[in-house]
Amino acid sequence: MTNIKRFITAMTAIGILTSASLSSAASDGLEINHLGVNNTLVRVTGGDQYLMLPVQENIDDARINVLVDGKIAETIYVRLAKSKTDYLVPFDLSPYKGKKVTLDVVTPQGRSSVREAKEDACWKGLTLTDTLDIQDNEQQYRPAFHHAPLYGWMNDPNGMFYKDGVWHLYYQYNPYGSKWQNMTWAHSTTKDLINWNHEPIAIRPDGLGSIFSGSSVIDHEGTAGFGKDAVIALFTSAGTSQMQSLAHSSDNGMTFTKYDGNPILTLESEARDPNMFWNPETKEWNLVLAHALDHEMLFFTSPDLKTWTLQSGFGKGLGCQDGVWECPDLFQLPVEGTNEKKWVLICNINPGGPFGGSAIQYFTGDWDGKTFKADTDAQGNVPTKWLDFGKDNYALVSWSDAPDGRRTAIGWMSNWQYAADVPTKQFRSANTLPREIGLFKGPDGQIYASSAPSPELSALRGKLTLSKGSVKAGKNPVSFALPAANNGICEILLDIDVTGKDVVTLTLSNKVGNKVDMVYDSEKHTLSFDRRESGIVDFSENFPAVTVSPTFETNGRISLRIFVDKSSIEVFGNDGQFVMTNLVFPVEPYSSFSVSSTGGKSKISNLKVYSLKTK
């Protein structure tokens, strides 16, 4: 069996084992020795591949030192079940095959005696297993056409590069639970930006700390000394302090070796999420690093990706200063309809987003290889610009070496305000649809970034279930059925035409009263998205919200492309000139789409609904 198959088999086992294992005693092949109120040794004597760890989400982490032949091989943090098991996560024993493995478990305080500690649900639920043959871990809100981990927690996309027809995506990952912890770079690949393969974990925590966000490049000339075309990853080692480290791969990013000179870059204050690229003009490597608590980005240059020289900083006192600055990206793009080129500096921030929590801020401007100079508005101020006017697109960064000069990017489709509380279980978080970043001139003369769905996504289209050349948006809503197949996942396309002033409402709804209203106001030039009654919204006070986007249009006409997955809606307006990405958790899929307007003077044209294909 391939690693991937084993991995999937193990994952899919989780659903079954959750209930089956609750009442069983610790399985054969495990010796459990309670040493004290908070300390237990679990010796693995069986030869199976996976040790299933029972997790209870609402308690603190236990610290587990994994002893291999008596030495600490790794330390992991797991919310080992105390009173109930929410789900199981596998600990893969295969790297230690043939060796003596013992888990030295320190559970959090809260037990008064060893006798009480012995009653913790986890001890009965620990199971060894090898042949996990199972069905899919399909869940109500598991996305049908977005990238998501099979199980466990995901946040930022990391280290993306394109090579030999394959898009590589790494991501912040906790393999041992569906909340943030044990940060690791997990890895997925795709050839079509739709169907994702889950690859073995790429970079694991080490003595310097866990593996925070970063970037990868293909070192075409072998400047770092690891060979031509080696894949070089830079990431933040997050131990007691944050420092930057390097890992290299000579098998196209499938496995990485950490550089023995790590860390390669240290500062006296918190800095993270290195993002690097080759600058063909200056013939050296450029690096942007988030000086998180100082609300600025730092720029470095290097001949070899290992030694970095600080050149300048950008951002102090500019843009939104309400949160930490994280996950930068810097690239140049042509401005549509002009001969001009501009640089885009992405500065993700958390909190401080326009609708609360995390969001993607960016600046346009000029970059000379050492300093970034931001564009200013007519008053000479540096305007704050947002890439997405929904609540659920964060840590967006782009692929390096994307084909045909494309600037393809992807974001984490959640918000730090409630990412750990959303009503999914064995996995938390998906990524946004991949997007093509572009630049255009807005009606105010400023340059803005657009993000349109990647062209590959058109291949998702299945049956055309609705096609109307023209529909009058009257005062009474006109409704259309949405496809029932595949949990209602669909793509809706339409143009709205308003003559004069009008307010047009588009509504997605289902039979149990969940609804999302999208309202276009031609006078205010805005599109809003109201998810306050969209389904399950009460898991966080920050979830029910109305988000509002400028529409950048002047003629009362907008074109929308709306992608509806099981727990997200992405609205792309005018080829991505305005975008809203929002999570929704409808109790059942939305089954109806209606249009109306307050003035009754508007028209919807080219209305099309496609049911989307799933794997």
* Residue count (the chain): 615
User: By C-beta, is 147 or 272 nearer to ligand FRU?
Assistant: 272
Is 414 a binding residue for ligand FRU by CB under 6 A? The answer is no
In the region spanning residues 279 to 338, those forming contacts with ligand FRU, defined by CB under 6 A, are: 326-327
| Residues in Cβ contact with 487 at an 8 Å cutoff, skipping those fewer than 6 apart | 144, 566, 589
Strands 324-334 and 309-314: unpaired
Find tokens 């008596």 and name the residue.
Answer: 70
Report the 10 Å Cβ neighbour count for 3.
12
Nearest distance from residue 523's CB to ligand FRU, in Å? Answer: 37
Is 156 a binding residue for ligand FRU by CB under 6 A? The answer is yes
User: By C-beta, is 216 or 236 nearer to ligand FRU?
Assistant: 236
User: By C-beta, is 213 or 581 nearer to ligand FRU?
Assistant: 213
Is 186 a binding residue for ligand FRU by CB under 6 A? The answer is no
Nearest distance from residue 276's CB to ligand FRU, in Å? Answer: 15
Nearest distance from residue 570's CB to ligand FRU, in Å? Answer: 20
Nearest distance from residue 315's CB to ligand FRU, in Å? Answer: 15
Residue facing ligand FRU at closest CB distance: 212
User: By C-beta, is 12 or 155 nearer to ligand FRU?
Assistant: 155
User: By C-beta, is 363 or 416 nearer to ligand FRU?
Assistant: 416
Judge if the upstream peptide bond of residue 544 is cis by omega within 30 degrees of 0.
no
Q: Which three-class secondary structure state does DSSP give residue 16?
A: helix
Is 415 a binding residue for ligand FRU by CB under 6 A? The answer is no
Task: Report the chain's terminal Cα–Cα distance, integer Å.
Answer: 22
Nearest distance from residue 32's CB to ligand FRU, in Å? Answer: 32
d(CA 455, CA 459): 8
In the region spanning residues 334 to 363, those forming contacts with ligand FRU, defined by CB under 6 A, are: none
Nearest distance from residue 183's CB to ligand FRU, in Å? Answer: 5
Q: Rounded to whole angstroms, what are the CA distances from 514 to 46, 478, 487?
A: 50, 18, 15
What per-residue string of b and e applies to 17-43 under the rule 16 or more CB within 10 Å gives b?
bbeebeeeebbebbebebeebbebebe
Is 272 a binding residue for ligand FRU by CB under 6 A? The answer is yes
Q: Rounded to whole angstroms, what are the CA distances from 26 to 30, 33, 124, 405?
A: 7, 12, 5, 56
- Interface with ligand FRU (CB under 6 A), residue from 273, 392, 436, 502: 273
User: By C-beta, is 360 or 490 nearer to ligand FRU?
Assistant: 360
Is 181 a binding residue for ligand FRU by CB under 6 A? The answer is no
Is 183 a binding residue for ligand FRU by CB under 6 A? The answer is yes
- Interface with ligand FRU (CB under 6 A), residue from 194, 395, 409, 560: 395
- Interface with ligand FRU (CB under 6 A), residue from 102, 172, 302, 450: 172
Asked if 156 is an active-site residue, the reply is yes
Q: How many residues bind ligand FRU (CB under 6 A)?
A: 12
Kindly report the backbone phi and psi dihedral angles of residue 299, in degrees, each rounded to the nearest multiple of 5, phi listed first: -115, 135
Nearest distance from residue 383's CB to ligand FRU, in Å? Answer: 24
The DSSP bridge partners found for residue 127 are 52
Kindly report the backbone phi and psi dihedral angles of residue 8, in degrees, each rounded to the nearest multiple of 5, phi listed first: -65, -40
Find tokens 């003596």 and name the residue.
Answer: 100
Q: Rounded to whole angstroms, what are the CA distances from 19 to 24, 30, 87, 547?
A: 10, 20, 8, 40
| Residues in Cβ contact with 595 at an 8 Å cutoff, skipping those fewer than 6 apart | 471, 473, 477, 478, 504, 505, 506, 507, 604
Chain centroid, CA 275 distance in Å: 17
The DSSP bridge partners found for residue 561 are 493, 572
Is 236 a binding residue for ligand FRU by CB under 6 A? The answer is yes
The one catalytic residue among 48, 61, 120, 156: 156
| Contact mark string toward ligand FRU, 210..229, x via CB under 6 A | --xx----------------
Residues that bind ligand FRU in the complex, under the rule CB under 6 A:
155-156, 172, 183, 212-213, 236, 272-273, 326-327, 395
- What residues are labeled active site? 156
